[in-house]
């Protein structure tokens, strides 16, 4: 009997600088209601799903603070938790977390009763902590967020083994392998990825969407896991466009659902959580084929060619 789970990627279009939490939560609830009508059991919202993607700005600390959640849930997002419990739908939510004075780029996994069953804090924080001179938009995640201290975990939930990653994490094979070693069957990863790379003139800007898809397809195939990738996307202000391409990817690396807009958009699929079994027992039978004694260098801080920064 296949272990079926109906999942949805609830892509969020532009959230403008002065949009209130209440306005955003209404949009999240509308997507959850659409998902429930389509039989979705687990709705996945993106990274930083409650506010504009503020790391593009150089802000005073007091201004930046307004984008952080001091508790989760809290009065602004409680309606989302209530609606989820009412509809019997679980969800994933990315948000900016303030915890004891520390600022993290975080995500939670919430069950169908509205209980938080897992929290993850983004490990790979891209961008810079100081603005790059002469650039109209910045990518100051390293100014606003600490590197996550949770590491990568897998939770027994929704009838399977669910893991979380956030945005830049998807680009690092270590993310996927650490989850894969824990038997992950579904990785949920939200993102805010500027279509025009935050460093001007970068050679790979033109490949932004390709590299996102490549990262998910490779991660899924090489670890025999499903992934729901979900974008916070669209033109959040003139000339600042975040990519979409929310997608659901199978353990064989196939894209089974793909968003086609840069707006609020739900894509969904009924996934078989056993679909990765054959490849995990075949090509990627870790116990039989892996050679960890040869891999030690990848747990070192840098390889033989440390980056010049
Ligand atoms: N955003 C981007 C991401 O990793 C980035 C940063 C963009 C890195 C393009 C490399 C290339 O998708 C976040 N929020 O991590």
Q: Which two tokens stand for residue 267?
A: 């894509």
Q: Which two tokens stand for residue 84?
A: 């989820």
Residue 253 lies in a domain: yes
Q: Which residues contact 205 (CB under 8 A, 6 or more apart)?
A: 195, 196, 197
Q: Are 161 and 182 in contact (CB under 8 A)?
A: yes
Orientation of helix 78-87 relative to helix 21-37, angle to 10°? 10
The parent domain of residue 228 ranges over 4-301
Residue 287 lies in a domain: yes
Closest approach atom of ligand 1 to CA 204: 11
Residue 176 lies in a domain: yes
- The span from the CA of 226 to the CA of 70, in Å, is 32
Q: For the segment 58-78, what is each residue's pLDDT rounded down to a tens digit? A: 999 999 999 999 999 999 999
Residue 309 lies in a domain: no
Q: For the segment 258-295, what is each residue's pLDDT rounded down to a tens digit? A: 999 999 999 999 999 999 999 999 999 999 999 999 99
User: Is the CB of residue 168 below 6 angstroms from any atom belonging to ligand 1?
Assistant: yes
CATH of residue 203: 3.60.110.10
Q: How far is CA 285 from the centre of its chain?
A: 27
| Banded model confidence at residue 308, pLDDT cuts 50, 70, 90 | low
Residue 307 lies in a domain: no
Residue 153 lies in a domain: yes
Is pLDDT of 303 > 80? no
Distance 304 CA to ligand 1 centre (A): 24
Q: Are 226 and 186 in contact (CB under 8 A)?
A: yes
Query: Catalytic site residue 119?
Result: no
Residue 285 lies in a domain: yes
């Amino acid at each position: 009997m296949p272990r079926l789970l109906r999942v949805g990627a609830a892509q969020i279009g532009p959230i403008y600088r002065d949009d209130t939490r209440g306005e955003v939560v209404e949009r999240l609830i509308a997507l959850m209601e659409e998902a429930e009508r389509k039989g979705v059991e687990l709705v996945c919202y993106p990274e930083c799903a409650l506010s504009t993607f503020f790391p593009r700005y150089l802000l005073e600390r007091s201004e930046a603070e307004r984008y952080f959640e001091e508790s989760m849930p809290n009065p602004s997002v409680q309606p989302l938790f209530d609606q989820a419990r009412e509809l019997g739908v679980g969800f994933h939510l990315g948000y900016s977390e303030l915890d004891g004075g520390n600022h993290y780029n975080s995500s939670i996994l919430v069950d169908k009763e509205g209980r938080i069953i897992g929290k993850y804090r983004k490990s790979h924080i891209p961008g810079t902590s100081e603005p790059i001179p002469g650039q109209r938009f910045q990518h100051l995640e390293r100014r606003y967020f600490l590197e996550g201290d949770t590491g990568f975990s897998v939770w027994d939930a929704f009838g399977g083994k669910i893991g979380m990653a956030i945005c830049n994490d998807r680009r690092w094979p270590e993310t996927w392998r650490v989850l894969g070693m824990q038997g992950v069957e579904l990785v949920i990863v939200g993102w805010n990825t500027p279509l025009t790379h935050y460093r001007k003139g970068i050679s790979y800007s033109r490949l932004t969407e390709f590299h996102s898809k490549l990262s998910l397809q490779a991660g899924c195939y090489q670890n025999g896991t499903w992934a729901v990738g979900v974008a916070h996307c669209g033109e959040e202000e003139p000339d600042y466009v975040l990519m979409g391409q929310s997608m659901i990817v199978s353990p064989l690396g196939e894209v089974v659902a793909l968003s086609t807009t840069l707006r609020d958009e739900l894509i969904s699929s009924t996934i078989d959580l056993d679909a990765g079994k054959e490849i995990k027992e075949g090509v990627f039978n870790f116990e039989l084929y892996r050679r960890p004694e040869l891999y030690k260098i990848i747990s070192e801080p840098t390889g033989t060619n440390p980056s010049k920064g």
